[in-house]
Amino acid sequence: MAKSNKRLSTEEIIALDEKYGAHNYHPLPVVIAKAKGVKVWDPEGREYFDCLSAYSAVNQGHRHPRIVKAMTDQAKRCTLTSRAFHNDMMGRFLQRLCEYTGYEMALPMNTGAEAVETAMKMARRWGVEKKGIENGRQEIIVAEENFHGRTISIISYSTDPDARINYGPYTPGFKVVKYNSPEAIEAAITPNTCAVLLEPIQGEAGVFVPADGYLRAVREICTRHNVLFIADEIQTGFCRTGRKFAVDHEDVRPDAMTLGKALGGGLFPVSAVVAEHDVMGVFTPGSHGSTFGGNPLAAAVGMAALDVLDDEKLADNARKMGEYFRREIAKVKCPKMVQVRGKGLLNAVVFEKGFEAWDVCLALRDAGVLAKQTHGNIIRFAPPLVITRGEMADALKRITRVFKAIK
C-alpha cells in the first residue's frame, strides 16, 4: 500500500499519474509540490514563475493568506449542508456577488462547466416561458473555436475534434457561427433563438481578442431580437483582463454571465450564474440544483476572493503589468514570433503556423517559467494578478532569453 507521506521525486510522481490516471490530459513534465503567490516549487525544490494560474483560477495568487484564513475558519465551523436546508453563509455570499457584478440574482454551482450548463438551461426555459418558443425548438447560438467546458451538451457545439471524437449522439439545439462577426450572429437568429453564448475573449483559442465594437454589436442584435446575451466570463472575469469583467472594456451589460475559476480564489471550486430576476426567475424548486452548490465553505472562500480582488486593486495591477508584458515581448527579436496579443494579464504569444511551441514550453520550464501552449503554435502567459513589477521583470528576462534562442 502506498504511503501518502513518502517523499517522491518528480519522475516517480509522473510515473504514478501515468500508471493510475486516465490519459485525458497532456501536462508539461513538471510537478508542483508547493506554491505561494506567483511562484511554485517542484519536489526537488526548483523554483518557477507560474504563468498559467491554473487557467486563471489563481488570480489572487497561490495560497493567499486572507482566503486561506477564511477557508480554514469556516472549515472549523460548518462545511456542507446541501440545499435541503439553509446555511448561514450562502445568502451573504450571493449578496456580495450580486453587489460585485451588479445583477439582481445569482445561482451558485461548483465548476465552470456547471455554470454554463445552468445558463443554457435557464436560457431554454426562458425561451419557452418568456419568449413563447415551443419547447424542444429552442436554439442557442455559439461561436467557432469556443471553449465552455467538456460536458456532453457543451462538446456538442465544440469545433475542436479532440473534444468531440466518438462522444455522439450530440445534443441538438445549437448553431455555431464565426466568432468576431456580428453579421454571422444576425444571420443565424430565428424566432426560436433564445440566447447567444460567447466568450468576450476566446482563451482556449489562443487569447483571441475580438475587434473593438464586437460585443456592443452583439448586445444590440440580441436586444433587437429579444434574445439573451450570455457572456462566459469564467476565464476572463474577476480582473484578469484589467477590468472586473472583459465585457466592461466595451461597457456592455449581458443578460447573464457565467462565472467560476478565480471566484474560488485558487482554493476551492466555486462557480455561479448571475442575471436579473426576470431571467433567473424561471427556475422553480426541483428544476435545477447541486448538492455542493452554495455550500458554506465555498461561500466563505468566494467572499474572501472577491474582497481580495477589490482591496488589492488587482484589476489595475493586471492592466499595468499586462501592458508592460506586451510592450517588452514585442521588442524581442525572434524570427518565429508573429504576434503578442491580449488584455490585462491574459496574453498569448503567437508563432508562425506549423511551429511547435511544446519545445519552447520545455525550454521555458528549464528557465524557471511555467506556461502552456495551445493550438500548437501559441503560448499563453497569464500569471497571478498579484505579480509585482520586479517579479514581472525577472520573468520577462527568462522568457526573452528563451525566445532569443529560437532559430
Q: Each residue of 332-352: pLDDT tens digit?
A: 999 999 999 999 999 999 999
Let me know if 88 is a catalytic residue: no
pLDDT-derived band at 91 (thresholds 50, 70, 90) equals very high
Q: What residue ranges in 138-269 does DSSP mark as E strands?
A: 139-143, 174-177, 193-198, 228-232, 256-259
Element (H, E) at 390: helix 389-404
Cα dist from 244 to 37, 73, 276, 313, 327, whole Å: 20, 27, 18, 10, 22
Does the pLDDT of residue 274 top 90, yes or no?
yes
Phi-psi region of 226 (alpha: psi -120 to 50; beta: other; left: phi over 0): left
**Residues 51, 30: contact at Cβ < 8 Å?**
no
| Residue of 42, 50, 232, 255 marked active site | 232
Let me know if 232 is a catalytic residue: yes
Write the pLDDT tens digit of every residue in 6-40: 899 999 999 999 999 999 999 999 999 999 999 99
Identify the CA nearest to 381 among candidates 43, 47, 50, 1: 50
Q: What is the mean pLDDT of the chain?
A: 97
Write the pLDDT tens digit of every residue in 278-336: 999 999 999 999 999 999 999 999 999 999 999 999 999 999 999 999 999 999 999 99
C-alpha to C-alpha distance for 221 and 312, rounded to whole angstroms:
37
Identify the CA nearest to 109 among candidates 256, 261, 239: 261
| Residue of 147, 229, 238, 245 marked active site | 147
C-alpha to C-alpha distance for 266 and 285, rounded to whole angstroms:
31
**Residues 189, 333: contact at Cβ < 8 Å?**
no
Write the pLDDT tens digit of every residue in 58-75: 999 999 999 999 999 999
pLDDT of residue 6: 86
Does the pLDDT of residue 151 top 70, yes or no?
yes
168 or 1, higher pLDDT: 168
Domains of the chain, first to last:
10-60+313-404 (3.90.1150.10), 65-311 (3.40.640.10)
pLDDT of residue 66: 98
Q: Phi, psi (5° rounding) for residue 79?
A: -115, -35
| Residue of 39, 175, 244, 261 marked active site | 261
pLDDT of residue 306: 98
pLDDT of residue 1: 55
pLDDT of residue 185: 98
pLDDT of residue 4: 67
pLDDT-derived band at 197 (thresholds 50, 70, 90) equals very high
pLDDT mean over 352-370: 97
Does the pLDDT of residue 196 top 90, yes or no?
yes
pLDDT of residue 145: 97
pLDDT of residue 5: 73
For residue 182, is the peptide bond before it cis, meaning its omega torsion is within 30 degrees of 0? no
pLDDT-derived band at 3 (thresholds 50, 70, 90) equals low
Let me know if 261 is a catalytic residue: yes
3-state helix, strand, coil in the chain (%, to 5): 40, 15, 45
C-alpha to C-alpha distance for 148 and 260, rounded to whole angstroms:
11
pLDDT more than 90, % of the chain: 98
pLDDT mean over 92-110: 98
pLDDT-derived band at 42 (thresholds 50, 70, 90) equals very high
Q: 342 pairs with which residues across the strands?
A: 347
Does the pLDDT of residue 232 top 80, yes or no?
yes
